Amino acid sequence: MKCPKCKETSLQKKGYGASYSCPSCNGRWVQTEKMRKLSVECLDEEACPPGNSSYDHKTGVCPAGHGIMLRGKVYGEEEFYLEKCVTCGGIWFDKGEWQQVAEANLFQDMQNFWSVSWQRKQRQIKNREAFLSLNKNLLGEELFLSVMELAGLLKNHPEKNRALALLQQEIQ
């Protein structure tokens, strides 16, 4: 099996045969059905600390020869992409990505990384966080917290439209 990122480097079997590694880029190929048996220690990530991989910007061909892999964006402190073969279900982890998934406890969500609805929800969460952060910075913490408290009070109130109209009238 060849590395999907380096293309010419042969993958080496690791541990109990549940994963393969590339000695050149330190990426890992893990077969999905064996993934639950693995731990961070099994993949020896200490030798491959997390970081921006120069290989993350591109996908590759399934090491088992099934064609181009599908990319799925992983949202977190540092965003990155995982690649998955839609035929055999194997997943490619660039250097340090296994560690990031493990530290964020994302293994239960892993199959969702390639779902359109999951990706959409993650983007919405990220956009909301950015929106709130921007407004907090622009308004100042005290006013921001007051507005958020008022929003919480009005959210399900039956007369929220009247309250918003009153507020608008009072600030003009």
User: Does 4 fall in a domain?
Assistant: no
Asked if residue 48 has pLDDT above 60, the reply is no
Contact indicator for 97, 51 with CB cutoff of 8 Å:
no
Instruction: Write the pLDDT tens digit of every residue in 71-122.
Output: 988 887 788 999 999 999 899 999 989 888 888 888 877 888 888 898 899 8
Structure tokens at 64: 């088992």
19-21 and 80-84: which strand pairing?
A: unpaired
Domain count, the chain: 2
Same domain flag for 165 and 127: yes
Question: pTM of the prediction?
Answer: 0.69
Same domain flag for 107 and 129: no
Same domain flag for 62 and 143: no
The helix (run of H) or strand (run of E) holding residue 123 is: helix 116-139
Same domain flag for 27 and 91: yes
Same domain flag for 108 and 137: no
**Domain finish residue from 70, 94, 114:** 114
Asked if residue 141 has pLDDT above 90, the reply is yes
Asked if residue 144 has pLDDT above 90, the reply is yes
Same domain flag for 128 and 75: no
Asked if residue 47 has pLDDT above 60, the reply is no
Same domain flag for 102 and 19: yes
- Round to whole Å and give the CA distance between 150 and 78: 33
57/126: higher pLDDT = 126
Ramachandran angles phi, psi of 71, nearest 5°: -95, 145
Same domain flag for 55 and 136: no
**Domain finish residue from 114, 137, 159:** 114
What range defines the domain where residue 106 resides? 12-114
